[in-house]
Amino acid sequence: MKFLDEYRDREAAETLAAAIARTVTRPWTIMEVCGGQTHTIVKYGIDRILPGTLELVHGPGCPVCVTSLEMIDRAHAIASRPDVIFCSFGDMLRVPGTRGDLLELKSRGADVRVVYSPLDAVTLAAAHPDRQVVFFAIGFETTSPPNAMAVWLAKKRKLSNFSVLVSHVLVPPMLTALLEAPDNRVQGFLGPGHVCAVMGTAEYEPIARKYRVPIVVSGFEPLDLLQGVLHTVRQLESGRGEVENPYARAVRAEGNLASRRLVDDVFAICDRKWRGIGSIPASGLGLRPEYADFNAEMRFEIGGIETHESSLCISGQVLKGLKKPHHCPAFGKECTPGTPLGATMVSSEGACAAYHAYGRHLNVVELQPA
Amino acid sequence: MCLGIPGKVVETYREDDILMGEVNFGGVSKRVCLEHVPEARPDDYVLVHVGFALSRIDETEAGRVFAFLDEMNQLDELEEPPP
């Protein structure tokens, strides 16, 4: 158990790992949903200390990764306009679109800025009334309240030069899409802790019931993940499929009600295209008609976006838990974090980038299934 | 990037009728919207995601989570962006 040497709660982790080993009697496949969880699992080798019949597959829970290429190209086209100050979270800047990434565009003179918060983009709009300030509003449910607050505040302050390019995604419809797929392998989920801190756990109940699948809300530290796995395998072994929340110290069942109300005021559910997966019905958020004036897609008409993805890349199968990064012939060769070919390599939280960061491309032979 | 980072509330104030505050993250100070954790007071700890407090957390949990995120190099968003 070499990995545990690095971890300060080694003893507690070993106890949990032993309890998991005692519980498991059959093969099971569990997906961790959140990119932060994937990062921890790979760094600490949590997948490698679990019983061999228990497989962890890595879900599509990295919003940077699943933002569609069309949306990246649209961002690029808007940011290219001389009248625009284009604001984004730092991780979006290096994601390559068809015509390059936003960082390159910045180096060629476009006004592309990294902001810490969407509210900083609103402040920027107020300070530059002669420019158009556009914020790239991406993210899962965790990021929707701050982004909604930015739009709400811009409306309140009557800022006519602020708009958002929205590419929000939602976790529950994505879980449903995975479970509905004929080739689905996932039998249990480690739910995304901080998404649930905002949204609560109620919307997972019907999914757990309908598909009889355990959904266990988990944090992103090694002990949280091991505890989440233990709860999941206990359910699986006893034939239960329920929502459980052992991460109650951060997640309340109702989430943050004020945040949920604000998100509901500004955004409405819409279909969304996910990079590597394709369009999932009702899996995204878009601006409500009352906030249409702040929609960058309507303010700047961008036509003629055509994209194509690498034919080598298997990120769609990785995102659905069907394959692992090292099953891809391009992994660590044509495809690296510096030259990513697809969704799961473009951000550090993607499964391929995490495998690469912790050197798993160096010992591919050892990782091949026996 | 969906992770919240724990910080300590230094002061609170209203701006545009919204509850805002200065929050300290291991020495880095940020302007944070506290509107959805209206009970937060100076010296309280809050879980903050992209300049927006999602919930209040206790000091022990805050310390543990912050140390873990630091270990995972997940505190990038607190860095000042390049000019």
A37 within some domain:
yes
- SS3 state of residue A166: strand
List, as ranges, residues 33-52 from A with C-beta within 8 Å of B: 34-36, 39-40, 43
Determine contact: A194 vs chain B, CB below 8 A: yes
The answer to the question of residue A364 being in a domain is: no
- Number of structural domains found in chain A: 1
Contact B61 A35 (CB under 8 A): no
Per-residue burial over A334-359, b if 16 or more Cβ lie within 10 Å, else e, is ebbbeebbbbbbbbbbbbbbbbbeee
Domain range spanning residue A103? 23-296+309-359
Residue B83 pLDDT level (bands cut at 50, 70, 90): low
- pLDDT (tens digit, 9 = 90+) per residue, A168-195? 999 999 999 999 999 999 999 999 999 9
- Over 80: is that where the pLDDT of A224 sits? yes
Is residue A16 a part of any domain in this protein? no
Residue range A244-265: mean pLDDT, rounded: 93
Residue A69 phi, psi (nearest 5): -60, -35
pLDDT at position A362 over 80: no
Over residues B5-51, the pLDDT tens digits come to 999 999 999 998 899 999 999 999 999 999 999 999 999 999 999 99
Close Cβ partners of A366 (under 8 Å, ≥ 6 residues apart): none
For residue A3, pLDDT over 70 is answered with no
Between chains, do B54 and A119 touch, taking CB under 8 Å as contact?
A: no
Strands (E), A235-287: 243-244, 267-274, 278-287
pLDDT score of A6: 60
d(CA A46, CA A44): 5
The pLDDT score that the predictor gives to residue B81 is 63
- Chain B hits for A156, CB-CB cut-off 8 Å, are 16-17
Tell whether A260 is within 8 A of chain B (Cβ). Answer: no
Structure confidence at residue A99 as a pLDDT band (50, 70, 90): confident
Could you give the percent of chain A with pLDDT greater than 90? 78
Contact A194 B3 (CB under 8 A): yes
pLDDT for A20: 97
* pLDDT score for A363: 60
Question: What pLDDT is stored for residue A368 in this prediction?
Answer: 43
How much is the ipTM here? Answer: 0.92
User: Which CATH number do you get for residue A274?
Assistant: 3.40.50.11740
Listed by number, the residues of chain A in 75-114 with a beta carbon closer than 8 Å to a beta carbon of chain B are: 89-91, 113-114
What are the structural domains of chain B? 5-78 (2.30.30.140)
Distance between CA atoms of residues A153 and A291, nearest Å: 11
Q: Determine the average pLDDT of the residues in A205-220.
A: 96
* Strand partners for B47: B6, B55
Distance from CA of A247 to the nearest CA of B (A): 12
Mean pLDDT lowest among A5-14, A75-84, A95-104, A141-150: A5-14
Nearest to A198 among B54, B68, B77 (CB): B54
Q: Do the chains contact at B50 and A198, CB–CB below 8 Å?
A: no
- Separation in Å, CA of A339 to nearest CA in chain B: 21
Q: What is the pLDDT of residue A27?
A: 98
- The pLDDT, as a whole number, for residue B78 is 83
Q: What is the pLDDT of residue A365?
A: 44
Average pLDDT of chain A is 92
Digit-coded pLDDT (tens) for A283-329: 999 999 999 999 999 999 888 788 888 889 999 899 999 999 999 99
Contact between residue A151 and residue A291 where contact means Cβ atoms under 8 Å apart: yes
Contacts of B28 in chain A (CB under 8 A): none
| Closest Cα in chain A to B47 | A250
Instruction: Flag if A146 and B50 touch (Cβ within 8 Å).
Output: yes
Q: Does B61 touch chain A (CB under 8 A)?
A: yes
Q: What pLDDT is recorded for position A1?
A: 43
The edge-to-edge listing of strands for the beta sheet with A162-169 is A112-114, A84-88, A132-139, A162-169, A278-287, A267-274
Element of type H or E holding A297: helix A296-299
Residue A309's pLDDT is 84
Contact yes or no for B35 and A149 at CB 8 A = yes
- pLDDT over 70 for what percent of chain A? 96
Q: Sign of the CA dihedral A226, A255, A197, A250?
A: negative
Q: In this complex, do B3 and A250 lie within 8 Å of one another by their Cβ atoms?
A: no
| Cβ–Cβ < 8 Å for A179, A154 | no
Strands A278-287 and A267-274, sheet pairing: antiparallel
Is A230 inside any structural domain? Answer: yes
- Contact in structure between A77 and A83 (CB atoms under 8 Å): no
Is position A203 within any domain?
yes
A145 in B contact zone (CB under 8 Å): yes
pLDDT of residue A234: 98
- Among B9, B62, B50, B8, residue whose Cα is nearest residue A249: B62
Q: Pick from A120, A259, A347: which is nearest to B36 by CB?
A: A259
pLDDT value, residue A253: 92
